[in-house]
Amino acid sequence: MTLPSAQTISALDFAAQLLRQAKRAVALTGAGISTPSGIPDFRSEGTGLWSRDEPMEVASLYTFRVAPERFYHWFRPLVKQILNAQPNPAHLALAELEQAKRLHLILTQNIDRLHQKAGSQHVVEMHGTLATLSCTQCFRREPSDPYVEPFLEQGIIPRCPQCGGILKPDVILFGEQLPQKAWLEAQRAARECDLMLVVGSSLEVMPVAGLPLQALDRGAHLIIINNTPTYLSVRADLVFLEDAAQVLPAIVERVLYG
């Protein structure tokens, strides 16, 4: 966003104004906020995960149940990328906004925990977490840390210390329901917010893609920052078809420092 146009400057100023006026702003983030950190998104042409692999063949609950080694073979390089990634300016900007009491909550579709690394305290992980694993046989839950190094270095599939069953990362695969507690919290946030800031989400995956619509239907403002248009672009107050790592810090700087 070098040498922004007068139109872009006006849009940034308006976005900052909406955030300053908001009493209960909520951010909804998707894979696009983390691509500047080196984590691939899902649908980008040529670089997205689903341009290389068929999701139902590698990342479905069915595949995990019948061929967990296939899932883990696909998952291993992605985990390496996630663990090596660092927050980018967009993550840091949201954390700064939260610390200034201008952002109530972050709802994220991501499992990379970059919001937490950036310093955000109130994050709802709607698609699960890499922090824990659950046994597919006895349902025992284990912290993932002890299993990470053997898995990444040697490809050892984690197994339950209690029954020997295969441990599944507590991330949501195709064919799984969203975590109930996180989903209820996300719905409540969408109903109660007066501004929703969508960052890096194509709004193509339901039911999460319906959250901004819930907010709009209750009179909330909507700002979308994403590289491509979404189905709600026509109803948003503002749409930035640009890199979130450039746009979001520019907005937050205006919110906090004028």
Catalytic residues: 127
Closest by CA to 248, choosing from 228, 230, 227, 225, is 225
Q: Which residue has the tokens 């969508």?
A: 198
CB 111 within 8 A of CB 129: yes
The CA dihedral of 29, 206, 19, 242, to the nearest 10 degrees, is 60
Strand order across the beta sheet in which 167-171 lies: 141-143, 128-135, 167-171
Start-end of H helices in the chain: 6-21, 49-52, 55-58, 61-66, 68-84, 89-99, 114-118, 145-154, 180-192, 211-217, 244-257
Closest by CA to 31, choosing from 17, 19, 16, 47, is 47
